[in-house]
Every structure is written in structure tokens, then in C-alpha cells.
Amino acid sequence: METQANAAGTFDILVIGSGAAGLTAALALAEKYKVAVLAKGGLTGGSTAWAQGGIAAVLDQGDTFEEHERDTMIAGAGLNRRETVNFVIERAPHAIGRLIDLGVPFNMDGNELHLTREGGHSHRRIVHVNDATGWAVQQALLRAAEANPNITLLPGRSCIDFITGKHEMRYSASGRVWGVYALNEESGHVEAFTARATVLATGGAGRVYQFSTAPRGATGDGISMAWRAGARVSNMEMMQFHPTCLYNLEVKNFLITEAVRGEGGRLINPRTGKRFMTFYDPERLELAPRDVVARAIDSEIKRFGLDYVHLDISHQPPEFVREHFPTIYEKLLTLGIDMTREPIPVVPAQHYTCGGVLIDLDGRTDLPGLYAAGECTESGLHGANRLASNSLLECFVFGDAAAAHILANWDSFEAPPPVRAWDESRVSEPDEEVIIKQNWTEIRRFMWNYVGIVRTTKRLERAMHRIQLLNTEVDEYYRHFRVSTDLIELRNLLQSAELIVQSALKRHESRGLHYTLDYPQTDDVPVDTILVP
């Protein structure tokens, strides 16, 4: 692996993002060509490292591809594209094999892989490394990338916009992508990176919401950049929420696993002291599906003006709680909460972006020269709701697919033409950072309140009105001041919010993750919400 302190320039291929999708593509491409991997902040800052669950694959004798496909389609409320579901699931066992070769230490049961089962799956088919699979995968991929002489890892690069035909010295109006302008976070200068092909793997847009389990950098950068460059995006209204995230002003995204409810945890309204799932789903109570539980909690919070609800398992014996949930127990103790004796304050939190940049089975976007993989895309795998543990799987399959298509068609990729350097002449140092912080907070709050788990047309229109006001302000700020990572993220956060609200306003039904009081019915024929720039 080469590292360059201040390396801008031309490579064969650029990969934007250093998570599962980006590194999978980079490793496949580096067998033949020189690849640069750009990452905002550190190389392990993405969602991959946070993934607690595992990777879904048909590996059990009694299991079949057809059943995994059916489970995926049911979770996705029929909005999935069947050929994509088929394509990904059939490649899952091969993806697991590759990870084993890279040294991922999956849990074993004797000589076989240990398989667990998660919500929505009809079989045991989740391979895992304890409850920290993502971290193990991230480490293995990074080790392989660092050892590869054809891969240059460039952390500390915040990508601003794609370099397209309009940035060529000779000027062309083509939407051909030649690379990216990126802020070097250390030097403060913007660098131009060019390549014959670019793979986008920047993750989701979870930080658009006040409560999210996504890492700090999940600000929809890739989705927004692709949209600005002319690519279509699809199903951005489909945002997955996890029902129980710890409510704590210091710790932003600590999940309280569903298993706490599975072992008898009850949801209580802190004001009335009543167990409230009895009003929403009297048969299944706390074990109703995620979206039902999340909507119930959201309803209690809105009706009573609460900040959170209580999840209480203190009626179980203390040793039972400590034995079943050692990690959560220890973590909560450091925050002054003893879950064996008192309730845990929880709120639902944004968990996964199911929509994104529209791609085909080769990972191609609408823009020539630009491929994409992972959470920043809408491949057709997840539909209106993601099945547990299909997310990492999508990263490996499409990272590979994009690399395979680039390798097979290499002769059709021209060398990049000379492009213009980034113009810093007309900007000054930002006057007040507080403006960025204020706008960031405002977006996340109104998105949570108006475009969250339960929606109405009036709430969505209120959100859109605020987005339009902020667009003018942020655009003016962006044009006049020197770019910083905070400003780049704010611009992308606002763009992502606009795409989510626009998509939600276009869907006149409730399906999967999109639930609106104005259109509670589900239409007979599922249709993707596709936005065209």
C-alpha cells in the first residue's frame, strides 16, 4: 500500500468510501490496476465497522435461495426488484467464502459456521462474529488493502462534487464522470482526483435525523453528489427506524437490542406509568414487528409531549439480566443506569437508508464512468424495508459486480482529459461557524418531527417550506466562504432532506417504511419513487 501525504492526481480507478462496498471493489480492481480509496475522516469511520448483526446467506441444509428471496420480498413489501433479489442471494455463499479467505473469524459450531436467526428470516442463515461482525469485516478488508501495492489509501478527504464534462479544460456538457474534487482536511485545500472510472460507496444519509444509529459521517454525501451531477435517485422516502435506541444526550447512537423485549422487556409511558403496547398491538405487544413498535413509541411521544419512553426489564431476576445482556448492562452502568433495578430511556432512531442512487446489476449509475455500491444506492434489493443482515451482503455483491464490469470493459474507458483546478479565489474564511451548527440542528429536528416514522402531507409540506428557506441561506454561505467538512456535510444533509421529502410527497399510499395518515391504504401495484434531476 502506498500512502501519500498530499497526493492529488490521476489513478486508473477512484473508490470513494472505505467501508465494505468500497474496499471489496478496490481489492478486486487492484488485481490489475492502480486504485485510490478516498475516505472522509478516518478509514474506519463508516457504517460497516458499527454493524452488530451479521451477513445473511443460504448455508444451512434445509434452507433454499427461494426462501431467502421470499423473506426479502416480504420484508420489502413487494417493492423489491425480483431479479436483483435473485442476483444478490445466489452470490451470498461465494461472498462469505471470500471473507473467510480474507481471515474474518466467523463463529463456528464444530466444523460448521454458526448460524443465527433474526427477525423476518424463516431459517438460521446469519453468519456472525459475536455481536460485532462489521468490525471484524472492516479490519480484514483494511488489512488486505494495506498490504496491496496497487491500492493507495487516502483518509482525510471530504469529497465535494464530481468532476464531469463541464470541468474539462476544453469544456463539454457531457455527464461523463472523470473523478472528484475533494477537500484535504489537513491542508485545507481542495484537490482534484481524476480516473477512468469511479466507484461511489459513501453509505447512507441517516444523520439527516435527530436520532440515528448511523455514524457521524452518514450525511448523504454520495447520494447528493450524484444527484447534483445528474443521476436519478429512487425510494428516498424509505428510511428504516429501529424502535429502541438509548436516549442519552452524551451517547448518541447506542442501540438497545430487540432481544431485551424478547426476554420480557416492557414499554412504559413514563408519565402515566402504563404499559402502552396493550393499546397498539394487544396480541403481540412488545414483540410486534419493528415498524409497529416504532410507530407506537412515536405516537406516545407525540401525544404526551415526551422526550422518550421507558423500556423496563427490572422485573426479571438481576442475574438473568446480567447474563443475557452483559454488554448493555456494563455500558448503561457507566451512564448511571442499572437496568436490573430501573427502566432504560429509549427513542426510535433512524437506522438504514433503503433508497439512494439508482443502479443496475453491474453497479452502473446513469452517469458514464460512475458506478455505485452499498447503502448509497437503490439496487432493488431492499424495496420498502430492509431484511435484517442483507445490508453487508449487498455491499460485497455490488462491490464485486461493479469491479467485474469495469475489468471486463476496461478498453472502453478513455484516459481522463485535463480538468480545471478548484477555484478558491473568490472565497473568504467563514465568519461564524455557529451558523452551520444552527442549520444542522434545525434540519435534524424538523426532519425528525415532520418526516419521521408517521407522516402527513401537512407535516411534509412544512418540512419542504423550511428546506427551501435553508437552501437559499446555505447556497449563499457555500458560494462566499471557504469549504470545510462541516459546510460540505451541511450542504449534502440539506440536499438529502429535500430528496426524502420530495419522494415522500410523491407516494400516495402507505407501504413498508413510508407510513402516512393521509394515505393509509397500500396500492395493488408497487411502484418505485424515481426522482429525475
- φ, ψ of residue 507 to 5 degrees: the values are -90, 110
Contact 73, 85 (CB under 8 A): yes
- Map grid coordinates 426522482 to a residue: 531
Contact 529, 512 (CB under 8 A): no
Which amino acid is present at 213? Answer: T
290 is catalytic: yes
* Active-site residue, selected from the candidate residues 81, 125, 290, 507: 290
Please give the helix or strand (H or E) that residue 158 lies within, else none: strand 157-163
Spatial CB neighbours of 323, under 8 Å, sequence gap ≥ 6: none
- H-only helix segments in 258-382: 259-262, 277-280, 290-304, 318-324, 326-334
- In whole angstroms, give the CA distance from residue 281 to residue 56: 29
- In whole angstroms, give the CA distance from residue 191 to residue 73: 43
The DSSP secondary-structure symbol of 15 reads E
- Map grid coordinates 459546510 to a residue: 487
Angle between helices 133-146 and 391-408 (to 10 degrees): 30
- In whole angstroms, give the CA distance from residue 7 to residue 47: 26
- In whole angstroms, give the CA distance from residue 308 to residue 18: 34
Take residue 407 and report the three cell numbers written for it.
475489468
Select from 58, 144, 68 the least CA-distant residue to 104: 144
Spatial CB neighbours of 405, under 8 Å, sequence gap ≥ 6: 362, 363, 364, 371
**DSSP per-residue codes, 432-464:** -HHHHHHHHHHHHHHHHHHSSSSB-HHHHHHHH
Which amino acid is present at 179? Answer: G
Take residue 224 and report the three cell numbers written for it.
447528493
Select from 361, 388, 391, 390 the least CA-distant residue to 376: 391
b (16+ CB within 10 A) / e for 279-308: ebbeeebbebebbbbbbbbbebbeeeebeb
The helix/strand/coil state of 240 is: strand
Give, in degrees to the nearest 5, the angle at Cα 210 between 528 and 313: 100
- In whole angstroms, give the CA distance from residue 145 to residue 27: 6
- Residues taking part in catalysis: 290
